[in-house]
Amino acid sequence: MSEANLILDYAVDLSLWILSLSFLVTLIRVIRGPTLPDRVLALDMLVAVAIGFIAVIGIKTGYVLYVDIAIALGLVGFLTTVAFARFILTRGKTEDDLLEEHNQAERLKNRPPRHAPARGDKQGEGAATAERPSASPPTSSDASAPTSSDATKERP
């Protein structure tokens, strides 16, 4: 009996170390994760590891009231993941879309001082109008296209 309890003590201590390690490894993914769903998934995993941690602490201390805390934490983690999934769905954009919009906003902000003199002396030369389709219309059409597609995406 005492040997078995000793083995259980060692197993509990070792598993606490292992769970701490897995907590840290999951935390690396939370910090580094390139996109929002990666971070949400890693937070879900953190909740699962925390529930296991609570169960091991309950074994170690014999304080079994921790089981209720584990169940409540599992409920909160589930609702958090569902809420984040709804948020990802209603945001409707990936990180690449947001980066592209930001770059286009920067381009639009920087453009008017550059084009104001070109628009002043544009009467009659064909070279400028021949240049312009390569330079400005793609940016203007790109600037109008994502907003209209986003509007249609967010309406329903």
Partner 1 sequence: MTIALTLLSAAFVLIGALFALVASIGLLRLPDLYSRMHAASKAGTVGSGLLLIALAIHAGEAGVMARALAGVIFFLLTAPISAHLLAKAAYAVGYRLGPTAVRDEMASTVEEQTSGSI
Query: Which residues sit at the interface with partner 1, rule CB under 8 A?
Result: 1, 4-5, 7-8, 10-12, 14-16, 18-19, 21-23, 25-26, 28-29, 35, 37-38, 40-42, 44-45, 48-49, 51-52, 55-56, 58-59, 64, 67-68, 70-71, 74-75, 78, 81-82, 84-86, 88-89, 91-94, 97, 153, 156
Nearer to partner 1, 93 or 111 (CB): 93
CB of 54 to partner 1, least distance (A): 9
Report the first-to-last Cα separation within the chain, whole angstroms: 65
Q: Which tokens hold the place of 70?
A: 């584990």
Nearer to partner 1, 97 or 101 (CB): 97
Whether residue 53 contacts residue 66, with contact meaning beta carbons closer than 8 Å, is answered with no
Nearer to partner 1, 71 or 108 (CB): 71
DSSP-based three-state secondary structure for 122: coil
What 51-55 contacts at long range (C-beta under 8 Å, 24+ apart), as own/partner pairs, is 51/77, 52/19, 53/16, 53/19, 53/23
